[in-house]
Every structure is written in C-alpha cells, then in structure tokens.
Structure 1
Amino acid sequence: MIALTLAQIAHAVGGQLHTTEPDTDQSVVSGVVDTDSRLIEPGGIFIAKPGETTDGHLFVGAAVENGAALAIVEHVVDVPVSQIVVTDVVRALADLAREVVARVRAAGRLKIVGITGSNGKTTTKNLLARILQDEGETIAPRASFNNEVGAPLTMLRVTDATQYLVCEFGAAGPGAIAHLAGLVEPDVGVVLMVGLAHAGGFGGIEGTAKAKAELVQALRPGGIAVLNADDARVAAMASIAHERGLSVRRFGTVASADVRAEDIETDADGTRCTLIIDGARLPLRLRVLGAHHVWNAMAALTAAAALGVDPERALTRLETVELAERWRMQPLGNDRVRIINDAYNASPDSMAAALRTLAQITGPGQRTVAVLGAMSELGEYAGEEHDRIGELAVRLRIQRIVVIGSEARRMFLAAVGEGSWDDEAVFFETADEAFDYLLTELRDGDRVLVKSSNSAGLRFLGDRLGESFS
C-alpha cells in the first residue's frame, strides 16, 4: 500500500484511532493490507474481519507477531498495536481502497480495467495482466479475488509507480458490482458474457444481465466499454454506454467486432485462430486449452488496445501463457493418461464448453472420460441444467461419464435416460469412491476432464489423479 499516516487512514475509514503511544497519529504505514494474519508482513495493516466460523479479532496478536503496525477492528483488542475502531471492517476496507486508488490516480498515470461476466473473468484477467505487465507496473488479483473483500485487497496493492490496475468483479447479488466498481470508477470495463452462473441469486438470467451491466454504469466519464458482440445481452449494454457518452469496443466473431476471430481450431496443444484487428489479419496460437478461451483472449486484446497497447506486441505476450490459472483447464498426468483439471468453478456454459473441448482434443484411439460434479448457485434452474449437461455428455459421445455427489445425481440419471445404458455412466456418492474406481478404470490413451463447482471439491480429486498418472 502507499504510505499514509495513521491519522489519514483513520479519516479515510471514518474510524477512531487508538495508539499505543501518545502523539503517534502521524506515524506512517505502508505495508501489506490483509485479512489473513499469516500473510501480514512487517509494517502491514491487519483487517480483523469477523467470519462465519471464526473472528479476525482473535488473530490480532498473531498479526502483530508477524509485524503488523496497525489493526482495523470493530472493538479494541487487548494487544499492543495501534488500532482504528470502525463499525464495519469490510466497509472500512472498501473506504481505504477507494482513498488509496484515488490518491495514486491523482498523482500518476494509473489506468484501471474492470472485468465481469458469468464465466471467464479470471482467465481474462490473467491474460490482460500478462499483456500489460511488460508495459508498466501492473496489479491484478490473486486467484479469484473478486468479492467485497478480495477486490479491495487487490486495489490496496497499488503503489505510486503502478500504471495498470486490473480488477475482477464478481457479484453475490444485485448492486455488488456497482459497489465494487464504484470504488475505483474504471477507465475500461469488460463484460464477457451473461449466463446462468449464480443465476439463483439474481432471479434469472435477465437479473444477471442487469447486474453485469452495473460495470458499464460505473465507468468514469470518457471511459470505454469492451463488450462481447456474440452475446446479445452483453451487446445490448452498448445503449447504456452511449447514453453515458462512453466509447464502445466489441470483440467476437460477428462482422461488427473491433477484434474478430475466424477459423478457430482446437487440439490437445491449445487453440489456433486468425484475428482481424483494425483490418490486419493476425494469427493467434493460444496454449490455454479450449476454444472458449479465444473469447477471453479477444476480450484481453480489446481492453489492451483501448489502453493503447500495440496488438502485435499483445499477441506475442498472449502466446507465452501456458496456464490460465490453477484448476482451470489445467493439464496434468502424462502423455498416456492426460488429466484436465477444470474444477475450480462451473456453470452450465462453462461445463458445456469444457465437455466440447474434451471431445475436440481426443484423437483416434483415445478415450474420453468426463468426471463431473455439481454446479452450484443455480437456484430453481439446478435440476434442468444438470439434466442438460448429462444429456450433452452423451450427445458428444463421451465414452465414460463419472458423476459424483448427490447434488449432481440428476446429471447421471439424464445421461442414462439419453442413451448411456452400457455402463458408460456411473455414479458415486464421494470423490474417494470415484478415485478408487478411476485408478482401475483409466488406461493408456484416456483423456480425462474433471469439472465441477468449487464447492464440490473435485479439484482435489483432479490433483490426486494427476499425481497418480504423472
């Protein structure tokens, strides 16, 4: 974090400063800000966030042992460290992030990009960060730091030298993106797609579309909206941008796209296509598995172009990316048995895309195996969407369908009902049972997809399989 005095921080968060020594309100703090006491470094700021299972106030002492110079708390803790007492530490975290980013922006060349969408946020964030990091100091979220805690923590990593801040915005419900994006008012806002991910919290896909459009509403005056021209609901957000006097740049496969993809081909080594950018035809070889990542790459390229980055330089950097993120289309295992661990997140759209990728990258003499778990947060759509994925797996001629967990059982039943009768589809209650089965079932030439929402925990099963067949 940039250097601020204790008094400046207290003012920014609207809190009451309690210091260990008198007249220390002008002491300067500039260390790491975090809610995890284990990650605090000397001179850092510990945010004592109450949680569902524990309370951050219990770890103020541990944070001080690691060198914390300040704790932001909701009540004074009997630990020898300066403390700022606020009514809500999560709100205080957001207020501090707003203040820090505003100061850096006012003093330098900071440009901010916000990214949202039902799928692809983390991959696009990583691809864009790879493009920008060679242009200047770039801050981007760790993992999927995109909620009311993770997004401000990312913002607070900016320094006086930061040129680019890439923010990923998730949404727990209506208004969440408006709140997070409103902290920084991005210069560029990327909307990837509107799908059924987390649709249960928005009352359906139209509610999801309205929530994603909050990013366009939050862009600063003169900003640029980067929109997926292939998604009708996203493309319609151009009207919001135009009403606000914002510029619009589009990516996709339609003729109106500013960055357009043609001749998309996928194999086990990645994806190839031709990109048309400003009339020039440029080849792209993306090492990240899956044709759907071409849209994420186009989004990153369009955002980078909006920031003035030369497209050919940007393409060269994209082609160095081998893995979007751990547990996202992550190749494991060996050449004989290849495991693709994509079980960090799942929605109907990403599940379908992963299954299609599995079918596309499996060659003659090889066998497709899909290890599938539940998709969470679908609300009233959960049953029919699990049915649809089970049916799709059969229609794609996936040769072994392994479904795990009671919440995903309808996926198995739908596969059987669609025509998977000869033991192609099997069901297990637990990942341990499925692991034991797969150890004896998998054979040379198998290409195995492990896919589920984070809550199903199959990413750890994917790791175990990858290690077993390494």
Structure 2
Amino acid sequence: MIALSLAEIAAVVGGQTHDIPDPSARVTGPVVRDSREVEPGSLFVAFAGERVDGHDFAAAVVEAGAAAVLASRPVGVPAIVVDDVQAALGALARHVVDKLGATLVALTGSAGKTSTKDLVAQVLRRAAPTVFTPGSLNNEIGLPLTALSATEETKFLVLEMGARGIGHIRYLTGLTPPRIGLVLNVGTAHIGEFGGREQIAQAKGELVEALPAAADGGVAVLNADDPLVRAMASRTTAKVVLFGESDEADVRAENVRLTDSGQPSFSLHTPSGCSDVTMRLYGEHHVSNALAAAAVAHELGMSVTEIATALSEAGSLSRWRMEVTERPDGVTIVNDAYNANPESMRAALRALAAMGKGGRTWAVLGKMAELGDEALAEHDAVGRLAVRLNVSKLVAVGGIEASWLQLGAYNEGSWGEESVHVSDAQAAVDLLRSELRPGDVVLVKASRSVGLESVAQALLATGAEGEVAVR
C-alpha cells in the first residue's frame, strides 16, 4: 500500500485511535486479514467470523511488526476502531485508488473470470507495473485488499468482480471505480441464487453502468458472441469494444485450431493489425479469454505483436484451473477442481477430448452447486456431453447430483462400463489407481464445495511418494 500515517487512515475511515503512542507513525507494509501474512509496517484487519475472531490475534500481529489493527473494538494494542470493519476497509481502498491514479480494469462474467484476469495481468505487466486479484478474491473483502496492495509504481490495477446478487458489482465498483470494464459472458453459474439468466445479466451489467463516458476515457469491452453481454452496450456511455469470433468483433480470432496436445492456436486480428498466437493453456475456451485480454491491452496502447507474444507465453497463475501434470508413468492429470458450472464443465470436457488423442480419457466429475431448479437437467446434460465427446470413462463422484451425471451418460448410450457412479473421492481414487495406464488423461472437476482436488492430488502422489489416502 502507499504509505499513510495512522492518523490519516483514521480520518479516511472515520475511526478512533486507541493505544497509539504516535499517530504520525506510518503503515508501510501490506494490509492483511491473515495474521500469518503480517510484515513489519502492516495494517492488520480484524474480522470477527463465525469460527475465528481476528481481534484475538491483535497482540500477536503487533508483536510481529504490524503498525496497528483495524478493529471494531479496542484490543489493548495500537488500533483504529470503527463501527464496521468491512466498510472501513472499502473506504480505505477507495481513498488509495483515488490517490494512485492507476488505470483500473475490472472484469466479470459467469465463467472464465479468473483465467481471463490472469491473462489480462500477464499481458499488461509487459507494458507497465501491474497489480491484480490473486486467485478468486473477488468479493467485498478480497477486492479492497487487492486494491490496497498497489503502490506508487502501479500503472494498471486489474480487478476481478464476482456477484451473488443484484447490487453486488455496483457496490464493488463504488470501492474501485474502473475506467475499463470487461464482461465475458452470462451463463448459468449461481442461477439458483439469481433466478434466471436475465437477472444474472442485470447484475453483471452493473459493471458497464459504472464506467465513465467515452469522452472521459471509459471503455466497455463486451463479448460479441454472447447476446446478453452484447446488449449491455445500451447500458453505458463508455466506448464499446467487441471481442469474439463474430465478424463484427473489433478484436477477433480466425483460423482457430487445437494443437495435438489440446492447446489453442489462432490468428489474432485487431484494428491495428494481426498476429499469430499459440497458447500454453489447454482448451479452445481460452480463445475467448485471450481475445478479451487482447481487447483490453489494445485499448491501453499495446501493439498486436506485443499482445500476441504475451498471450503465447502466458501460463496459469491460479491453482486447480486446468493444471496439467504428466506423471512419470505417462498418465496425465488435469486438475480443474477449483469450481464448476455448466459452461466450464462443457469447456473442460471439450479440452479433455482434444487432449486424449493418444490414449484413454477419464472424466472424474462431481456436483455443480447453486443451480436451483436447473440442477437435474444440467447434470444430465453434462453426462450426455461426455458420451457425445467419446470420453472413454465417466466417473461420477458423490450424491444425487453425481447420479444424475451418470444417468445422463447412460441415457445417451453409455450402457457398458463407460460410466460409473462412486460414493466419494476415495472410491474414485481406488478405482483409478487400479485401472489407469500410460497415455491416459484424467480430468478432475466439480464445484469447490466437493473438494475433488484431493483426487487429483492423490493420483499425482501415486508413483511419486507412494499411495496416500484421501482425507
């Protein structure tokens, strides 16, 4: 964070200083909520959760070097006490980004947010110092913490914004007002909470509504291939830039193909020229993500050659998102278990089909959460798609949703041993250990709550450090 005195911070957040001998002392380290991340000069933000109360760590973090604690009550060590810690954190973030003058790029969408955010950041940091959301910390706590990690040298701040309902993105853009807003897609993720795709579109479109007018530098980067996203052009006074494979897209891909290993290759076309891209990431769905990143970078003045080179060299920065690892015995594990929704499930299955040309393909799939009344139909559809893509074997893991996956495969024609339903992660690991052979490719994917990353981790441990049990 940019250096601020404790007195300045207290004034910004409307707090009272307690047990601070020198209000002119400055916060020179990061703003953190995890006591293990405290460094000398940090500001520790004490949240009171259901299981852990950050206030209980106040003395320890100050002893470790924290300059003070942002708290909701006095804690016996230097503290700035406020009525609402979350609101104070947001106010501090807004103050800092206003002082920085960096270009803020915000993005949202139903699927691909984190992968695209990582691509945008990897491209932009070739041009100038860039700070971006780590992992998926895209909510009302993670977003301000990311913004507060920017320094005076930061030129680009890339922020992922998630939404659980109407008004959430409007709130986030109030904390960190973007100049460039990117909307990827409107799918069915969290449709059980929103009630329908139209409501999801309403929520995601709050991002473009928050942009400045075109005359003031505002740019809305919209997916030309998604009608609900493209329609958001009417909700903004910013300049509209379209990306996609449509002929009408300003930034588009032509001659899209996959390498033998399943990595996308295409010709990138922008208003200033074209260049070829071959990505290190896996799956054709990354083409759209790459086009979105290219559109942002082009608007910020990067050349098409610079953009294409950066996209060709970009890797995966966030864990458990199409992490591809080949074991010493020739079995390839694709750990995409961070989260799942119908769109990302379909993309992952298509990537698996493209990667498995030399051997058998295994789809180890679990529940997709928060689908509401659409849950049965969506799980059935994913099971059917696995059969249509000629996945060698579907292993559906877990309860009733997994049984719907397996039933969909069965109804599509998987009548023999091409699909199986197992009770839990350990049962899946036991099955795979007994049947995998060199050349096989295994995809592991489910919603985060299922914890299927343990299957991928156990399979990677097999043959390396001996077999381990799934916990």
Provide the rounded CA distance (Å) in 2 between the counterparts of 1:272 and 1:430. Answer: 37
Provide the rounded CA distance (Å) in 1 between the counterparts of 2:272 and 2:35. Answer: 52
Gaps of at least 5 residues in structure 2 are 465-471
1:4 aligns with 2:4: yes
1:427 aligns with 2:425: no
Identity %, equivalent residues: 47
SS of the counterpart of 1:343? coil
Amino acid at match of 2:416: D
Gaps of at least 5 residues in structure 1 are none
Residue of structure 1 in register with 2:183 after alignment: 191
1:86 aligns with 2:79: no
Provide the rounded CA distance (Å) in 1 between the counterparts of 2:166 and 2:458. Answer: 38
How far residue 393 of structure 1 moved from its aligned partner, in angstroms, is 0.9
Amino acid at match of 2:89: L
Residue of structure 1 in register with 2:31 after alignment: 33
TM-score (norm 2): 0.94
TM-score (norm 1): 0.95
Residue of structure 2 in register with 1:49 after alignment: 47
Provide the rounded CA distance (Å) in 2 between the counterparts of 1:468 and 1:332. Answer: 13
1:128 aligns with 2:123: no
How far residue 44 of structure 1 moved from its aligned partner, in angstroms, is 0.3
The 5-angstrom pairing of residues 193-272 of structure 1 reads 193-221=185-213, 222=216, 223-241=218-236, 244=237, 246-267=238-259, 268=261, 270-272=263-265
Amino acid at match of 1:146: N
Mean Cα displacement is larger for which, 65-74 or 148-157?
65-74
The 5-angstrom pairing of residues 379-394 of structure 1 reads 379-394=372-387
Amino acid at match of 1:288: L
Provide the rounded CA distance (Å) in 1 between the counterparts of 2:313 and 2:456. Answer: 25
1:238–1:248 Cα contact (<8 Å) kept: yes
Provide the rounded CA distance (Å) in 2 between the counterparts of 1:52 and 1:409. Answer: 33
User: Measured at CA, do residues 445 and 285 of structure 1 come closer, stay the same or move farther in structure 2, by a change above 3 Å?
Assistant: same
SS of the counterpart of 2:165? coil
2:26–2:67 Cα contact (<8 Å) kept: no
How far residue 289 of structure 1 moved from its aligned partner, in angstroms, is 0.2
1:437 aligns with 2:437: no
Residue of structure 1 in register with 2:93 after alignment: 97
The 5-angstrom pairing of residues 389-404 of structure 1 reads 389-404=382-397
Q: Give me the CA root mean square deviation.
A: 1.4
Provide the rounded CA distance (Å) in 2 between the counterparts of 1:319 and 1:392. Answer: 29
Which of 449, 454, 458 matches 1:460?
A: 454
SS of the counterpart of 2:313? coil
User: Measured at CA, do residues 309 and 280 of structure 1 come closer, stay the same or move farther in structure 2, by a change above 3 Å?
Assistant: closer
Residue of structure 2 in register with 1:14 after alignment: 14
Provide the rounded CA distance (Å) in 1 between the counterparts of 2:272 and 2:314. Answer: 25
The 5-angstrom pairing of residues 112-127 of structure 1 reads 112-127=104-119
Provide the rounded CA distance (Å) in 2 between the counterparts of 1:141 and 1:279. Answer: 29
1:435–1:465 Cα contact (<8 Å) kept: yes
Provide the rounded CA distance (Å) in 1 between the counterparts of 2:17 and 2:241. Answer: 46
SS of the counterpart of 2:154? coil
User: Measured at CA, do residues 375 and 417 of structure 1 come closer, stay the same or move farther in structure 2, by a change above 3 Å?
Assistant: same
How far residue 324 of structure 1 moved from its aligned partner, in angstroms, is 4.7
2:272–2:304 Cα contact (<8 Å) kept: no
SS of the counterpart of 1:308? coil
Please list every run of at least 4 consecutive aligned residues from structure 1 whose deviation after the TM superposition is greater than 6 angstroms.
Answer: none
1:35–1:46 Cα contact (<8 Å) kept: yes
Residue of structure 2 in register with 1:293 after alignment: 286
Provide the rounded CA distance (Å) in 2 between the counterparts of 1:146 and 1:290. Answer: 24
1:266–1:357 Cα contact (<8 Å) kept: no
Which of 348, 352, 360 matches 2:342?
A: 348
Per-residue CA distance 1:69-99 (angstroms, 9 max, x = gap): 1101111113xx3111111111111111001
How far residue 269 of structure 1 moved from its aligned partner, in angstroms, is 5.2
SS of the counterpart of 1:236? helix
Provide the rounded CA distance (Å) in 2 between the counterparts of 1:300 and 1:195. Answer: 19
Provide the rounded CA distance (Å) in 2 between the counterparts of 1:369 and 1:401. Answer: 6
Per-residue CA distance 1:30-83 (angstroms, 9 max, x = gap): 2110110110111100110112322111121232232111101111113xx311
